[in-house]
Amino acid sequence: MTGRLHLNAFLMDNGHHEAAWRLPESDPHAATDVAHWQHLARVAERGKLDSLFLADSPVVWGGSIARRPAAALEPTLLLTALAGATRHIGLIATASTTYNEPFNLARRFASLDHISGGRAGWNIVTTAGLDAARNFNLTALPAHRDRYARAAEFVEVSLKLWDSWDDEAVLADKTAGVWGDDARLHPASHTGDFYRVAGPLNVSRSPQGRPLLVQAGSSESGKDFAARYAEAVFTAQQTLADAQAFYRDLKGRAAALGRDPETVKILPGIVPAIGATEREALALEEELDRLIRPEYAKAQLAEHLRVSPEDLHLDRELPADLPDEDSIQGAKSRYTLIVTLARRERLTVRQLIGRLGGGRGHRTFAGTPEQVADAIQHWADNGAADGFNIMPPVLPRGLEDFVDHVVPILQRRGLFRTDYEGTTLREHYGLPRPAPARGLAAAR
């Protein structure tokens, strides 16, 4: 049975709650232990989830490793290791268009798609933050708008490279001594504002043709970009109304570009603290919030808001005079989300820190498996989601609880598959394998 929901496991070292590593059960060295990640991948596959996903930024955040695990294995390599530990689940890696070369990155995703038998996905990010820029020869952050223009051209080049070998290009004609047909090779021949790439790629066309394209930006540029390129969209939404508005908006933008809105799957994030009883779930949430060190969290919040830590007081609301949104060149949508959440619910800085520490702006939720399933179904039934980005606050426990207790409820309700029916990530998401595009206007 198929079901109509799509579920992605968003994995992060000891879990999404910033204090998860401090729980007695947590291994604080898990971030660099491939066995930890292999276990998580196998649990997610036991739950028949569509995919698992790794976020990424090429930086030690804020230059500090004090607050939480700060070692991050490179995602395309880590997913390659997880491909060997699993057989079905999709593997989505974040990678930056600002700090990679299209030839190298397109090749890594084509390689991951071959190695995993068609399970590769790319979460396309433009990478905010001066910290990152300073690791790549820059002294200033490229402007928000420029990063998206570069990202669009980066994706266009990548599409040309993935399509540079026809599916039938490898003849393997031993008798004639002809391995490949040069007539079925199509150089990228790309010359644009940011890139000149001759091509062809040196990897044959992969099982999926190209990786699943994922995007998570929520700024205006981000939504336009997603509407044009994304096949799955991860998004942070706090309320049903906001999620419905985002869903309508993005599907509308895709339709306006001539795309079938069904081919853009929208997955809001949810951080479910799961307990056998509601009281148990709330106790977990409270224990985690108690383990946050507020001075670290306040410093991080100040950095997000582009203010000095001294301007924030733990038991007061945010100051009234914050920087104007338009002046933010970094993670613009993250900024807006934090400020909106704080103002709407009139949260003190301490309360805001608890909410953000749990899910960095994603929807946190404490409840029984039945309540979590209800929350998921409620949004899915009301035009707010095609599926969910599951962000367990504690790993591996939170993923095990979700897979063993929430997934069976969704399956009984006919909302989620009881087994994999396809072999590729695209098949899990109900998306077709693209034919190679040919010609200049070919990308879409």
Binding residues for FMN: 56, 94, 144, 148, 218-219
Q: Which residue has the tokens 């929430």?
A: 406
Kindly tell me the number of DSSP H helices and DSSP E strands found in the chain: 15, 13
300 part of the interface to a second copy, by CB under 8 A:
no
Inter-residue contact 416 to 385 (CB < 8 Å): no
Report in angstroms how near the CB of residue 247 gets to a second copy at its nearest.
34
Question: What span, in angstroms and rounded, lies between the C-alpha atoms of 248 and 232?
Answer: 15
299 part of the interface to a second copy, by CB under 8 A:
no
Inter-residue contact 98 to 59 (CB < 8 Å): no
168 part of the interface to a second copy, by CB under 8 A:
no
Site for a second copy in 329-348 (CB under 8 A): none
DSSP string, 409-422: HHHHTTSS-SS---
193 part of the interface to a second copy, by CB under 8 A:
no
For a second copy, the closer CB: 192 or 422: 192
Q: Which of 290, 114, 311, 79 is nearest to 206 (CA)?
A: 114
Site for a second copy in 119-148 (CB under 8 A): 131, 134-139
State the Cα angle at 205 between 200 and 206, rounded to 5°.
140
Question: What span, in angstroms and rounded, lies between the C-alpha atoms of 126 and 112?
Answer: 21
Report in angstroms how near the CB of residue 301 gets to a second copy at its nearest.
17
Binding span for a second copy by CB under 8 A among 170-178, 272-280, 401-409, 415-423: 170-178
For a second copy, the closer CB: 201 or 264: 201
Near a second copy by CB under 8 A: residue from 140, 172, 320, 440:
172
For a second copy, the closer CB: 103 or 429: 103
Q: Which of 214, 281, 268 is nearest to 237 (CA)?
A: 268
339 class by beta-carbon count within 10 Å (0-12 exposed, 13-18 middle, 19+ buried): middle
Q: Which residue has the tokens 């991080």?
A: 300
DSSP state of 253: H
Inter-residue contact 197 to 159 (CB < 8 Å): no
Inter-residue contact 382 to 1 (CB < 8 Å): no
77 part of the interface to a second copy, by CB under 8 A:
yes
Near a second copy by CB under 8 A: residue from 46, 81, 224, 434:
81
Binding span for a second copy by CB under 8 A among 189-197, 347-355, 404-412, 433-441: 189-197
Site for a second copy in 41-70 (CB under 8 A): 57-60, 63-70
Residue 288 three-state SS = helix
Four-residue CA torsion sign, 388, 376, 289, 27: negative
Near a second copy by CB under 8 A: residue from 19, 125, 212, 375:
19
286 part of the interface to a second copy, by CB under 8 A:
no
Near a second copy by CB under 8 A: residue from 29, 316, 344, 433:
29
Residues contributing to the annotated binding site: 56, 94, 144, 148, 218-219
Site for a second copy in 212-231 (CB under 8 A): none
Report in angstroms how near the CB of residue 342 gets to a second copy at its nearest.
24
Near a second copy by CB under 8 A: residue from 181, 287, 303, 404:
181
Near a second copy by CB under 8 A: residue from 5, 7, 55, 72:
72
